[in-house]
Amino acid sequence: MEITSHGKWLQKITTALRKAARMWQVYVLLLPALLYVIIFNYVPMYGVQIAFKDYRVSKGIIGSEWVGLKHFIRFLTYPEFKTIMLNTMRISLKSLIWSFPLSVIFALLLNELDNLKFKKFVQMITYMPHFISTITVCGMVLLFFNRQYGVVNAIITGLGGERIDFLGKADYFDALYIGSGIWQGLGWGAIIYLSALAGVSSEMIEAAKIDGASRIQIIWYINIPTILPTIITMLILRCGHVLGVGFEKVYALQNPLNMEVSNVISVYTYQLGIGGGQFSYASAIGLFNTVINVTLLTIVNRISKKVSDISIV
């Protein structure tokens, strides 16, 4: 009885299995990468349970005791929690607000250059900082903005100004962080919009020109609407990283003097976990971070799908 009711279903599975067996070599090609993500991505996902446990090295991940939401509650009630969250979001949103539109504007302006050789040259130069490592960029920031030896202060005093302690004052942290980010990412971030701009219909532009449209009008009414889907897609992707402020740069630029504004989730996790050995607590913070990021990404994606019919999944 049961077999006949499931007959069709069973048949489907058998055909699929037979097909799979015939293609076994394709699975072999897939195997190394699959094993890799299982060992290096999925095993840690399984290990994330220590966020709900009191992890003891001697007892191992499975043997350690369950403690429920203890570590999450500890983090949420930690006096510094608010500061760390606000720092993370402030740095992230500020970088987004500054760097995101600048890359779009830069692409639009670059697209207006008639001299192709010059355009290529500008592109090549603006891609250059992208190939310099984060550490090097941070090293350059520290060198250039040094109060005593830095070239920026040399120029300021040369123009008759007072020396400014950029690195010693928390007020300048954001500007240095975001400014160096723009320097590194402006040209590279523009590539995707440039390629989208290549899809602008030249007939439409010709027609607009005949109608007497100005350059700015063409950019506003034709170019920007054409690349809008790309802009929105990139924006959604960026929203998935609102709490994912890059560890590397903050950690390199952080010092005791700017700690109050530069302490972000990823650095805090690192210092507690790797530095302090508080594995469970640090894992809980990490998990909290991931869940918020994924939630934000999903929400923004949904909204965008409803409003503009553009989504990433």
Partner 1 sequence: MKTKKTKMKRSRSNLIFDTVNMIIMLLVLVIMIYPIWFVLIASFSDPNAVSLGKVILWPEEFTLYSYINVFNADKIWTGYANTIFNTVLGTLWNLFLTIPCAYALSKKKLPGRGFIAMIFVITMYFGGGMIPTYLNIKNLHLLDNRMTLVVLGGLSVYNMIIVRTYFQSSVPQELFEAAIIDGATEFQQFFKVALPLSGPIVAVITLYYAVGRWNDYFTALLYLNDSKLMPLQMVLRDVLINNAALLNEIMMDPNASSEQITALAQQVYMAEGMKYAVIFIASLPMLVVYPFIQKYFVKGVMVGSLKG
Q: Which residues, 170 to 199, sit near partner 1 by CB under 8 A? A: 183, 186-187, 191-192, 195-196
Q: Which of residues 204-233 bind partner 1 (CB under 8 A)?
A: 212, 214-216, 230, 233
User: Which spans in 6-132 are helix H?
Assistant: 7-22, 24-37, 43-47, 60-63, 70-77, 81-111, 116-127
168 in helix, strand or coil? Answer: coil
Q: Which helix (H) or strand (E) holds 74?
A: helix 70-77
Residue 10 corresponds to which tokens in the numbers above?
Answer: 């069973």
Give the one residue of 98, 270, 292, 305 binding partner 1; rule: CB under 8 A: 270
Give the one residue of 1, 3, 40, 117 binding partner 1; rule: CB under 8 A: 40
Minimum CB distance to partner 1, residue 106 (Å): 7
Q: Which of residues 125-144 bind partner 1 (CB under 8 A)?
A: 125-129, 131-136, 138-140, 142-144
Q: Which of 270, 259, 84 is nearest to 173 (CA)?
A: 259
Residue 110 corresponds to which tokens in the numbers above?
Answer: 């670059």
211: amino acid identity, one letter: D
Minimum CB distance to partner 1, residue 280 (Å): 8
Minimum CB distance to partner 1, residue 218 (Å): 10
262: amino acid identity, one letter: S
Do the Cβ atoms of 190 and 106 come closer than 8 Å? yes
Minimum CB distance to partner 1, residue 1 (Å): 28
| φ and ψ at residue 203, rounded to 5 degrees | -65, -40
Q: Which of residues 148-167 bind partner 1 (CB under 8 A)?
A: 148-149, 151, 153-155, 157-158
Query: Which listed range, 3-11, 30-38, 69-77, 170-178, lies at the site for partner 1 (CB under 8 A)?
Result: 30-38
| Residue showing tokens 């890059």 | 246
| φ and ψ at residue 53, rounded to 5 degrees | -130, 170
Residue 82 corresponds to which tokens in the numbers above?
Answer: 């608010």
Q: Does 104 bind partner 1 (CB under 8 A)?
A: no
Query: Which listed range, 81-89, 107-115, 199-207, 256-264, lies at the site for partner 1 (CB under 8 A)?
Result: 107-115
The dihedral over CA atoms of 218, 223, 228, 233, expressed in degrees to the nearest 10, equals -160
Q: Which is nearer to partner 1, 5 or 102 (CB)?
A: 102
Q: Which of residues 235-264 bind partner 1 (CB under 8 A)?
A: 240, 247-248, 251-252
User: How big is the site for partner 1, counted in residues (CB under 8 A)?
Assistant: 97
Q: Which is nearer to partner 1, 83 or 134 (CB)?
A: 134
Do the Cβ atoms of 279 and 50 come closer than 8 Å? yes
